[in-house]
């Protein structure tokens, strides 16, 4: 069998796996949106069965033999040099996924899926009652299974290496810890300087903003950003998320708060950034393993760029504030552009990650990274997690959670078994700022276009420079291609300083 024939057959098998992945995603989307409460037990069995089938397909001897026939190996994951670049990128991605899955026993995969499905249901109950004890036994089980997973995959430096590699390929715990150490110090200094300045009043954002009108404004935002309602939909969930159910079916959810309008607005912009990425892959890779983000850090760069660098900019609200005021005339009466712009960018340490400002947000991620690395290394017991969470919150933000719901139970990720996921959020901030700097150099009078509501110029640049590649390039390769250098926190810090120094008179 020639390498070309092997690649052709692998792509056929991969397409079947993608269809199974999308069917699984549909079940998970339903669980988070419309699924009846009592159906959770059978849903866990359904999801576990699908995941088991996917695992079997990925680890089948046929896939291993075909990868070998194509010349792909751990030493040479791209296969034969004579193959087209797209085929080599496909082999690299499939070789990596096949290698990871092959190390995991099928029973462990099924057990993890069942534990995560039940874990999410228990987390929602515990969060609603603000009672960590309701969730703790299941979390303990998830941590134990996750440690087994890391041991099966293998690692050199830290068990967390095997976990973060699932979400941010070819990244190590030591690398993230080094980046975060410097970032924590620089952000902490900026937060302290802002804290000494006069506070910005954003009280008007806590008026009564009916959810139905917020949803109507969300549709205006999605239309302006270029999200096609024929290729997705917007729903509500306890935790906003984006999920891909097909090549032309990428759905997003939002969470609205009638007493704090920023929650809904910026969750929609954020999730739309994810969705636009998923909808922007080239025709050559659509429907394949390459039709996904190259890493979750890159994925998060797209949502954070839209949410903060564009969505919290003065030019953006020069266009959208009048539209928002039409829906909420009494709530926004007399609110000037400058006052609104300052309010949506107010910096203040807070407890809830998804409502955090862009200056303090990465500190929330550093907190979670610290705790979950200690959990999987055995340095922290699950029952001690609330106390450790509160202590670290006090260190980073100078405040204490007043409940489990506002503290250790606020995120869904651990209930999903997604250990290793959190660092990608902060890495996304860094990538996003670096990409935005390159975009600003490439697009003359970018602010003028944004102020006119012409967001298409942004989407076109992102599609051309970032989206189209999908996972054909690694995060490091993409960053170097777009910006001319490797990832650097300097762009993010420079962006924050340039924006917030004049705003707070620093």
What are the residues whose beta carbons fall under 8 Å from the beta carbon of 189, sequence distance 6 or more? Answer: none
DSSP assignment string, 310-355 = ITTSHHHHHHHHHHHHHH-TTTTTT--HHHHHHHHT-----S-GGG
Structural contact between residues 500 and 439, judged by C-beta atoms closer than 8 angstroms: no
Determine the Cα–Cα distance for residues 20 and 18; give it in Å rounded to an integer. Answer: 5
Rg of the Cα atoms in the chain: 23
Q: Half-sphere exposure of 393 toward its Cβ, with a 13 Å CA cutoff?
A: 20
User: Residue 72, Cβ neighbours under 10 Å: how many?
Assistant: 29
Helix (H) or strand (E) segment spanning residue 253:
strand 249-254
Q: Which of 167, 124, 136 is nearest to 33 (CA)?
A: 124
Mapped onto helix, strand or coil, the DSSP state of residue 421 is coil
Determine the Cα–Cα distance for residues 505 and 193; give it in Å rounded to an integer. Answer: 10
To which residue do tokens 């404004």 refer?
Answer: 217
Determine the Cα–Cα distance for residues 264 and 261; give it in Å rounded to an integer. Answer: 6
To which residue do tokens 């906003």 refer?
Answer: 240
Determine the Cα–Cα distance for residues 196 and 198; give it in Å rounded to an integer. Answer: 7
Going from the C-alpha of 501 to that of each of 193, 218, 337, the distances in angstroms are: 9, 30, 19
Helices 314-327, 337-344: crossing angle, 10 deg rounding: 100
Catalytic site residues? 271
């Amino acid at each position: 069998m020639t390498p070309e024939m092997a690649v052709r057959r692998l792509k056929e098998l991969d397409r079947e796996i993608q269809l199974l992945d999308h069917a699984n995603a549909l079940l998970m989307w339903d669980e988070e949106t419309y699924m009846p409460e009592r159906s959770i037990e059978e849903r866990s069995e359904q999801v576990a069965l699908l995941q088991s089938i996917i695992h079997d397909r990925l680890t089948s001897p046929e896939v291993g033999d075909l990868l070998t026939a194509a010349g792909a190996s751990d030493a040479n994951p791209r296969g034969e040099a004579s193959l087209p670049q797209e085929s080599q990128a496909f082999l690299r991605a499939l070789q990596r996924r096949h290698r990871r899955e092959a190390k995991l026993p099928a029973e462990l995969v099924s057990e993890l899926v069942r534990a995560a499905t039940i874990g999410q249901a228990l987390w929602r109950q515990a969060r609603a009652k603000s009672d960590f004890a309701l969730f703790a036994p299941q979390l303990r089980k998830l941590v134990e299974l996750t440690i087994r997973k890391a041991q099966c995959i293998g690692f050199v430096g830290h068990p967390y290496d095997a976990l973060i590699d699932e979400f941010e390929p070819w990244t190590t715990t030591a690398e993230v810890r080094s980046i975060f150490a410097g970032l924590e110090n620089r952000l902490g200094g900026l937060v302290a300087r802002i804290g000494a300045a006069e506070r910005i009043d954003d009280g008007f954002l806590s008026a009564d903003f009916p959810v139905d009108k917020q949803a109507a404004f969300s549709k205006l935002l999605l239309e302006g950003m270029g999200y096609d309602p024929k290729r997705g939909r917007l729903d509500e969930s306890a935790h906003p998320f984006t999920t891909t159910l097909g090549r032309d079916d990428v759905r997003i959810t939002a969470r609205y708060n009638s007493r704090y309008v920023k929650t809904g607005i910026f969750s929609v912009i954020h999730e739309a950034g994810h969705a636009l990425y998923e909808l922007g892959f080239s025709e050559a890779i659509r429907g394949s393993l390459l039709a996904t983000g190259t890493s979750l850090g890159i994925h998060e760069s797209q949502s954070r760029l839209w949410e903060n660098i564009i969505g919290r900019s003065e030019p953006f609200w020069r266009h959208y504030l009048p539209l928002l005021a039409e829906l909420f005339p009494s709530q926004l009466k007399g609110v000037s552009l400058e006052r609104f712009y300052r309010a949506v960018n107010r910096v203040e340490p807070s407890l809830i990650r998804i409502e955090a400002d862009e200056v303090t947000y990465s500190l929330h991620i550093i907190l979670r990274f610290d705790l979950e690395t200690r959990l999987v290394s055995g340095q922290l017991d699950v029952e001690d997690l609330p106390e450790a969470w509160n202590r670290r919150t006090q260190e980073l933000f100078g405040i204490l959670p007043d409940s489990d719901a506002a503290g250790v139970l606020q995120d869904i990720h651990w209930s999903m078994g997604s250990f290793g996921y959190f660092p990608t959020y902060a890495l996304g901030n860094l990538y996003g700022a670096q990409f935005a700097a390159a975009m600003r150099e490439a697009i003359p009078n970018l602010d003028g276009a944004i102020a006119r509501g012409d967001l298409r110029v942004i989407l076109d640049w992102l599609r051309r420079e970032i989206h189209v590649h999908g996972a054909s390039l690694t995060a490091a390769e993409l960053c170097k291609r777009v910006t001319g250098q490797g990832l650097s926190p300097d762009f993010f810090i420079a962006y924050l300083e340039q924006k917030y120094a004049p705003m707070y008179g620093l």
